[in-house]
Amino acid sequence: MILVSSCIAGLEVRYNGSHCLVEKIQKLVNENKAITICPEMLGGLSTPREPAEIIGGDGNDVLDGKAKVMNRVGADVTEQFIKGAYAVLEKAKEVSATIVVLKENSPSCGSSMIYNGEFIGKKIAGIGVTAALLKRNGIRVISEEQFFENLP
């Protein structure tokens, strides 16, 4: 089974209530080959919500207690991000996920790039909280872009 970020399957769960549909991902879900997960929703946040970024590091640093996730109005949402990451890990184990396809650039789902924590739209190399936790547990994580690069 494949787990995929809900927003790339077309679900309107992004911070601003939008999605970022990738039709081929949605097709996998419709064919029951993939299951959607949104770590931020699973962590208890609502949609719409204030956008959040990792301050002082990346997802690995958040898991190690060395960085925080803050939203644009200054609320600390680290706990919700960590809770959501563990909920996705549980789901991945439950369905014996072979691969998890996560939306690039997100503070939860990014697997190689995230925003830099200044809310200025600048991306830096780094990993989101959920992607980091999955990788630590030996689960293969790729972005939606890499998923299509690897298609035959």
Name the residues that contact ligand SF4, by CB under 6 A.
5-7, 13-14, 38-40, 103, 106, 108-109
- Taking the complex as a whole, the smallest distance from the CB of residue 116 to ligand SF4 amounts, in Å, to 17
Nearer to ligand SF4, 11 or 152 (CB): 11
Nearer to ligand SF4, 95 or 152 (CB): 95
Spatial distance between the Cα atoms of 89 and 62, rounded to a whole number of angstroms: 16
Nearer to ligand SF4, 71 or 106 (CB): 106
Which are the contacts of 115, defined by CB distance < 8 A and separation ≥ 6? Answer: 53, 54, 105, 107, 121, 122, 123, 124
Nearer to ligand SF4, 80 or 152 (CB): 80
- Taking the complex as a whole, the smallest distance from the CB of residue 17 to ligand SF4 amounts, in Å, to 10
C-alpha dist (Å) from residue 94 to 89, 108, 152: 9, 20, 28
Give, to the nearest 10 degrees, the angle between helix 129-136 and helix 78-94: 40
Nearer to ligand SF4, 75 or 152 (CB): 75
Q: Which residues pair with 46 in a beta bridge?
A: none
Smallest Cα–Cα separation from 109: which of 136, 133, 83?
A: 133
Spatial distance between the Cα atoms of 152 and 148, rounded to a whole number of angstroms: 9
- Taking the complex as a whole, the smallest distance from the CB of residue 105 to ligand SF4 amounts, in Å, to 8
- Taking the complex as a whole, the smallest distance from the CB of residue 76 to ligand SF4 amounts, in Å, to 17
- Taking the complex as a whole, the smallest distance from the CB of residue 152 to ligand SF4 amounts, in Å, to 26
